[in-house]
Structure 1
Amino acid sequence: MDPLTRVNREPPWRFSIAPMLDCTDRHFRQIMRQISRRALLYSEMVVAQALHHSNRRERLLGFDAEEHPIALQVGGDDPALLAEATRMAADWGYDEINLNVGCPSPRVQAGNFGACLMAEPDRVARCVEAMVSASNLPVTVKHRVGIDDLDSDSLLTAFVDQVAAAGATRFSVHARKAWLEGLDPKQNRTIPPLQHDRVIALKQRRPQLLIELNGGLDTPEDCLNALDHCDGAMVGRAAYAHPLRWASMDALIFGDAPRPMKASHVLMGLMPHAERHLERGGRLWDLCRHLVQLVEGVPGARYWRRELGQKAQRPGANLYVLEQATQQLIDAGL
């Protein structure tokens, strides 16, 4: 296959970095954009009601042009507020908007959104319909295979059918059910067993729909296997814990020419973003807290991480700290 043809054909969502609270902020997205030029990146979940009331929308919605393609993930259950959030996403220049129907946290449940909405497909459909009507952005949905005792293939298919009929263009399916009572969010990412076969079966039952597999994809090989059966592969915690592991994805999935990628390359690419962030009054640690995962499995990695962490957290830490850390990696051939 001609690589150029493949690049033109493969959409960004073939490989994406999942939205993760306290992880996928604009700083981590900048890190991942150095590693993959093609992957679809997601914001952290932003609550639609917070967007409606906030006068600090730059903090909630801001991103830099090089982060494209990028999707805004929103949470909520009010069609009007979600429509307003969709218009904001379009105005700010996002490439698509995603509705969270997968988060199992008690705080999110208290607001009647996230995974608990899988019990209310009518409401989800109304929300999606309002979002679709609000702009030309693609509206996608991230959800679980089931919740609590609402956990059958027939219920999953009915949910997807109804939401697709409302206009959702793609479904990112976390291949675990969510226990809304008895498990906390961290436990819900690990204790319910992975059920990739159920997501694959959903795709087989509904071949006309775009289905992404999420959950337990820990290596590039896992993603390639997922793409044999589903339309997209979405990686979450494994991308945050091991960023450089994914440096080959542009070549493997999108047909780009392979390019060498070292930790020092990532830091050098981050310099303009770090400088802008400091000029806006931000702290260096806002960015560097995500970098401690970048160097692993090599002699001196622990020392490098500890030194960067200590220096970046000091009051007034400036760009020199990052430049010094970069030079240490270059000197070590990393």
Structure 2
Amino acid sequence: MRKILVTGGAGFIGSAVIRHIIQHTPDAVINVDKLTYAGNLESLVGVADSPRYHFAHLDICDGAGLETLFAEHQPDAVLHLAAESHVDRSISGPAEFITTNVVGTCTLLEAARHYWSGLDDERKTAFRFHHVSTDEVYGDLHGTDDLFTETTPYAPSSPYSASKAGSDHLVRAWHRTYGLPVLITNCSNNYGPCQFPEKLIPLVILNALEGKPLPVYGKGDQVRDWLYVEDHAKALYTVLTQGQIGDTWNIGGHNEKTNLEVVNSICSILDELVPSPLAPYRSLITHVIDRPGHDRRYAIDAGKIERELGWTPQETFESGLRKTVQWYLANPRWVSHVKSGEYRQWLAQHYGGQG
């Protein structure tokens, strides 16, 4: 049994990883989360009572707190997911992204390095620091057939992606300089249960159910590769337990869709499951001014993780999207608790009241 310290475990991807670990492996989890607006412990209700789960309310920028936590719990691995992650928020407030994603990662790396340095040889050899990043560090793809690979040069476009690129470079530097045994993954757009409704898919689902406009940036022709979050969680655990130290893996869903295609697909599922008496849900689609520096296309080549570690996504976009819509329909309590005053203010600020 491993003890895995998961940062950002109350967030969207972090909670999916913890649910996977507790439900499908013998390992134990120490969940470290600051509980910002997007952190929600209700996403862990099904596993929080497990004796293999422990929660620590802690900011990854708190070096002393991290040192104490490592000493107390003696983890065998770190799975680092804590991050500010929404591009629009990074445009309006970039400093917070630099603090969490760059300074926080540096602080965590140092705490992990000091802890790892003091382990006995066997535990030191077995220790892993797995850093979870994004395909947005690679920037924009201009060709219709181009794909991001693990060797694609970095060209981040937003304060968010620049901060994640910076954290990736720090992790590689701690491996090169200090020998810290690191792993890095870069994933495509995630979707699924428990995603905070500032992101496209839950935003559209919930707005549609309330009869509100469905905001789409520009023409909605931006292309993304969509990855079901539970597939991602399985991939992360696979890399953590089987990956080669110092290496990088891209994780994608093999599902390229334009934003407008995604919105129309959600509307079609809702028309079937909860038809509106007024009009088809797609009549609510509202095109809004595009955001600054909006990348046109992201697409992942996930061939390496399939060849080397045997991972492939289990969900198609159609099956994963239907599961996602059904989850939001079945969990109104979770939704109502998440939709705080801060969330409504953010929607008004970024979508001009159209949220």
The question of a shared fold, defined as TM-score above 0.5 by the shorter chain, is answered with no
For Structure 1 versus Structure 2, the TM-score category normalised by the shorter chain is 0.3 to 0.5
TM-score (norm 2): 0.35
